[in-house]
Structure 1
Amino acid sequence: MLATWPHPKGYVCYRAPGPVTIDGDLKAAEWDAAPWSDAFVDIEGDKRPKPRYRTRMKMLWDDEALYIAAELEEPHVWATLKEHDAVIFQDPDFEVFLDPDGDNHTYGELELNALNTTWDLLLTKPYKDGGRALNGWEIIGLKTAVKVNGTLNDPRDTDTGWTIEIRWPWKGLRELATFTGAPRDGDQWRINFSRVEWDVQVNGGQSEKVKNRPEHNWVWAPQGVIDMHRPERWGYLQFSTAKPGTATFKPDSDWPARDALHRVYYAQRAFHKKHGKFAAAADLGLKDLADRLEVETTRSGCEISWLDRGAQPPKRRYSITDDAHLRTR
């Protein structure tokens, strides 16, 4: 039986007390209002060693945009890629994944390196479900900046690391969700952050990746597997208009239903891989969920519905399709 997944991390994002200047310098007074996140962990979670360098982020918002800051400890900061929309994670990078409506489909990804070279792309749905990355997509009004605390591409000395600022306007998010302006107090979106780090060696006075070693993936909200494209395991971004430091993150009351549907979704994937077809609810081995499920199957797909018995009439019904599209109605 697939185990339940714990409620992901949450971050309370406060309104910016004033204009946010995007220059990569996080010592500006406006950032004092934003709490730092927990230090990033390995993408697989506690079963893997803790990252050797600290990574953390913080966020603010106003009527125009979402602001993201990040601090990456690194003794030898290096980057090579200078072309926009290059595959940035071939360098050490910082990545943002954002799904405002939390339906697992049509979400945005932004990557940038220490040269402030960016790659923004839109995912129609996760790669595991046949999704495509639309590299031609551009985030309207995006601004980013990087500050290197040390010397870039010079391994002869020791650096402190690099810091990042991102301004992601609401108008640059309209393709990802049905909203027309800034979020409201208490709204929650799904978000996650990743840092890609490579093992390096010095050759000819320059840092280069050690051959045949995979990258390290350090993230804010662990995924459990080496795959950032599982939006159901991303963290929660909660917007607040309260005085900074006074609001409390409120866990998603829909989480038990969301998690249950994803357990069934993964069970269906495993069944289909083995048998070449989708299963009826009784054949999935999820006895603790079977009496609350409805499974509709066709030759090419399936949809799983979950009835929230604890809700007052009219009861809510949740559903997920075989390509992970999550809906509430």
Structure 2
Amino acid sequence: MKKKFAGLALATAVLVTGNAYGQKSYTVKRISSPPVADGVMSPGEWDGVENSSEFAMLRQDEGDVDAHEYRFRMAWDDEAMYMLLTSSYAGWVSGQGSDLEELPCEGTLICGGTNFGGSPDSLNFYFDPDPDDEDNVDPPDGYQIAVGINEGVASYKDEAVTNTFVFMEAHVDTGFGNNGTWGQGDDAGHTAWSFVSTADTNGLVAEFYFPWATWDAFDEQLDFTHAPVDGDNWWFNLGIITSDPGNFLPIWNWNSSQSFVTRPDGELVFSTETVGGGGLTGDVNLDGAIDAADIDALAAAIRGGTSDSVYDLNGDSAVTDADREELVNNILNTYIGDSNLDKQFDSGDFVAVFSAGQYEDGIAGNSGWGQGDWNGDGDFDSGDFVAAFSAGGYEAGPRAAVAAVPEPSSLLLIALGALGLVRSRRR
């Protein structure tokens, strides 16, 4: 729920005066094409969804940072909230909870094992949808979900666990016990959510699906079975018991106690700003189309040194000119120099760029793809002709067609002629 100003002021005062460590916040944006919770990061499905901040270490100084790069991403739509958790850790345990065969849970809140509190490589989630508009202090309300991460593939779906365990409670004014009466009577929300994780020597990919029907505990302080609105906030934390004794208790929102349960939690702020998710590969500006605006946005990202994965089109974990070439040559299936994006580089492109009148105009950074910036530096000058003609696409026809490429000497004459034309027009 949206916080009242007075409530925010009180919560801020408590956090600032009572706790030096403050409170983290993560913006959960709406997603146009939701990911599939299958434990695999499919190309494009999390595009535009930002990583969380780094995790700290519980029972250590606040500045001690988790060494295994735990990060989460979250997004939402009218049906559900979606979550991705990743880590670089490679020492996963095996044999906790259910075995590799599917084990039916039959609607129970605990399935596959009950020893979550001491289990290595277990994830401990705390969600408080906050329908009662409470402050972020103890004693807490909210939902606790714990799952085990075993080596290999683990899952909870269709009311069954495989290679894992699950533990669920709904707390009201306490950190322990299912006194929120989750899963009582006809309330079946605790069986609606699911997850699949893949853990191996390459690290962890865990994907979660939380439909809004999940949060149906009977108590009015917890019931939240509808999609949020812009500006709604939940309290949230994630703590991890790991099998690495040197990196034992990573937690997203650190506190000075020895307990995951202790407030303050971090904050999830829901936004109606929409990101692309599994949209069009190459639609880096997430407007639903792949066009010159995406080439310009990618060029600006390269110049700015960004590392956002939405721009990493060739999947090499870097944002470079190679991604720009991937966008132009393979995704748009055309050539460097095709300013009007008709899938060929010919005299029509010269007409387009010369009409824009930005060749060597002395205004830094004012040109885009449609105005002749073919090398991505933000300007239209002789360097763009070098880039375009070096790529060898002039008058080669559509890229899919087999056509002869003019000899380099001919390309040079064409380029010189084009430059002469520009200069003669300026006299």
Find the counterpart in structure 1 of residue 68 from structure 2.
53
Alignment of 1:222 with 2:254, yes or no, is: yes
Q: Give 1:145's aligned amino acid.
A: V
Give runs of aligned pairs for residues 1-329 of structure 1, distance below 5 A.
3-5=17-19, 6-44=21-59, 46-47=61-62, 49-83=64-98, 84=111, 86=113, 87-89=115-117, 90-101=119-130, 103=134, 104-115=139-150, 116=154, 117-125=164-172, 131-133=176-178, 137=183, 139-148=190-199, 150=200, 159-175=201-217, 177-199=222-244, 216-230=248-262, 232-244=263-275
Q: Secondary structure at the match of 2:144?
A: strand
Aligned 8 A contact 1:79 1:91 in 2: no
Structure 1 residues 107 and 85: alpha-carbon distance in aligned structure 2, compared to 1, 3 A threshold = farther
Q: Which amino acid aligns with 1:241?
A: T
Letter paired with 2:149: A
Equivalent-residue separation in structure 2 for 1:119 and 1:37 (angstroms): 24
Question: C-alpha root-mean-square deviation of aligned residues, in Å?
Answer: 3.0
Is the Cα contact below 8 Å between 2:31 and 2:274 reproduced in 1? no
For residue 39 of structure 1, report the CA deviation from its aligned partner. Answer: 1.6
DSSP 3-state at the match of 2:124: strand
Q: In the TM superposition, what is the alpha-carbon distance from 1:244 to its structure 2 partner?
A: 3.9
Normalised by the length of structure 1, the TM-score is 0.59
Question: What is the rounded CA distance, in whole Å, between the counterparts of 1:118 and 1:124 in structure 2?
Answer: 20
Higher relative CO (CA 8 A, sep ≥ 6), structure 1 or 2?
1
Please give the secondary structure, in 1, of the residue aligned with 2:191: coil
Paired residues, number: 221
Stretch deviating more after TM superposition (218-227 or 191-200): 191-200
Instruction: Show structure 2 runs of 5+ residues with no match.
Output: 1-15, 99-110, 155-163, 184-188, 277-284, 286-427
Amino acid in structure 2 at the alignment position of 1:143: S
Give the structure 2 partner of residue 276 of structure 1: none
Percent identity (aligned): 20
Question: CA offsets per residue over residues 249-297 of structure 1, 9 Å max, x none?
Answer: xxxxxxxxxxxxxxxxxxxxxxxxxxxxxxxxxxxxxxxxxxxxxxxxx
Distance in 1, matches of 2:81 and 2:167, equals: 16
Between structure 1 and structure 2, the one with the greater Rg is 2
Q: Which moved more, 1:45-54 or 1:174-183?
A: 45-54
C-alpha distance in structure 1 between counterparts of 2:73 and 2:82, whole Å: 8
Task: State the secondary structure of the residue aligned to 1:139.
Answer: helix
**Counterparts of 2:29 and 2:37, CA distance in 1:** 17
Answer 1 or 2: which has greater helix percent.
2
Q: What amino acid sits opposite 2:79 in the alignment?
A: E
Bigger strand fraction: 1
